[in-house]
Amino acid sequence: MSELSVKHLLGIKYLNEADIRLIFETATQFKEVINRPIKKVPSLRDITIANLFFENSTRTKLSFELAQKRLSADVINFAASMSSLKKGETLIDTVNNILSMKVDMVVLRHASAGAASFLAQHVDATIINAGDGAHEHPTQALLDTFSIQERLGDVQGKKVVIIGDILHSRVALSNIFALQKLGAEVKVCGPKTLIPKHIKSLGVSVETDVKKALLWCDVANVLRVQFERMSASYFPSNREYTAFYGITKSMLDALDKKIVIMHPGPINRGVELSSEVVDSDQAIILDQVENGVAIRMAVLYLLAAKK
């Protein structure tokens, strides 16, 4: 009988390889559950979960909510736009108010890096990080690596390139940690202005030529350009970004192997990926979304088991 080594899911950084493998094994079982005629199990029927989204999200929120409902948990949702935060309440006060309503777990998305860790230290509930600023987005990295394992059999020894806006991306950082813990080789690729200065200290290599990166890799995880997080100009124009870093079908056809294309969504069609690539059989973007529910069910289940 194995269990997670952590009480909260704050980042991939705090998980070990056995934790990730346990989450994958459990997610495989939940994937079977969500393909049954009745896609619900009673495991979390005595648990109440609050989804606190201080930052906008569509698929992560839907995916978490669906995972919670499939596990029979009671769910309350909170969006910052409708909250008393605008009236000056602090994060801890907001969360403690919600916890007084007998909530057992909190799924938190926040624009500040470290918000989830901060909450975990100050409130009495299991915290799951659903994205904190440009820091971590652990469930996304878990579902990405799970999808790679599903498509290629294993993550160990695979070459994965993360392409795009690495600087503003929590998906990139969590993916780097997860891929390395599972034994993959990681490269990042993008314009120099969008690659953090000290990224090499994480043990990843850097490439600025996307064609070379594609030639090297087994899997390309293509990130969205996060216009909303950019406070300065990091590249001249969208068209120029697409000309240098956009991936087209002809670029993939020119390779001597069939690489796997991933994207955490939402996609800017025609910017980082051409429509033809998005809809091709090399893209596993929709598998990632399906696996997202199974992975989140596994995380909720395994954390709830820790009491």
Partner 1 sequence: MSQKLLLSAKDLHIILFRLACQLKETHGDFAQTLLVGLQPRGVRLAERLLHILENEHNISNIQLSKLDITFFRDDFRRGDKVLNANDNSMEVGVEGKRIVLIDDVLYTGRSIRAALTAIDSYGRPEEIQLLTLIDRRFSRHLPIQPDFCGRQVDAIQNEHVVVCWEEEDSEDAVYMVNK
* Residue (1 or 243) nearer to partner 1, CB: 1
217 vs 294, beta carbon nearer partner 1: 294
Smallest distance from partner 1 to CB 256, Å: 37
Burial of 159 (0-12, 13-18, 19+ CB in 10 A): middle
Q: Whose Cβ is closer to partner 1: residue 17's or residue 46's? A: 46
What residues have CB less than 8 Å from 62, skipping those under 6 apart?
A: none
Interaction pattern, residues 15-54, with partner 1; x per rule: CB under 8 A: -------x--xx--x--xx--xxxxxxxx--x--------
CA dihedral 50, 54, 55, 60 (to 10 degrees): -10
- Beta pairing partners, 247: 273
Residue 181 CB, shortest distance to partner 1, in Å, is 20
The count of residues interacting with partner 1 (CB under 8 A) is: 24
Give the nearer residue to partner 1 in terms of CB position, either 5 or 275: 5
d(CA 188, CA 164) in angstroms, rounded, equals 8
Residue 2 in contact with partner 1, rule: CB under 8 A: yes
- Nearest distance from C-beta of residue 130 to partner 1, angstroms: 22
- Answer for which of 98, 116, 128, 302 binds partner 1 (CB under 8 A) is 302
Q: At CA 81, angle to CA 76 and CA 83, rounded to 5?
A: 60
Q: What single DSSP character describes residue 153?
A: S
Tell me how far apart the alpha carbons of residues 305 and 187 are, in angstroms, rounded to a whole number.
Answer: 36
CA 71 from centroid of its chain's CA atoms: 20
Can the peptide bond before residue 264 be classed as cis, meaning omega within 30 degrees of 0?
no
Does 7 bind partner 1 (CB under 8 A)? Our answer is no
Beta-ladder partners of 31: none
25 or 209: whose CB is closer to partner 1?
A: 25
Q: Which stretch binds partner 1 (CB under 8 A): 207-215, 262-270, 284-292, 297-305?
A: 297-305
Question: In sequence order, which residues have a C-beta less than 8 Å from that of residue 89 and are 6 or more positions away?
Answer: 83, 97
Work out whether 279 is an interface residue with partner 1 (CB under 8 A): no
Listed ranges 202-210, 229-237, 256-264, 299-307: which one lies at the site for partner 1 (CB under 8 A): 299-307
Distance CA 273, CA 261 (A): 9
Rounded to a whole number of angstroms, the minimum distance from the CB of residue 38 to partner 1 is: 4
Which residues contribute to the site for partner 1 (CB under 8 A)?
A: 1-3, 22, 25-26, 29, 32-33, 36-43, 46, 301-302, 304-307
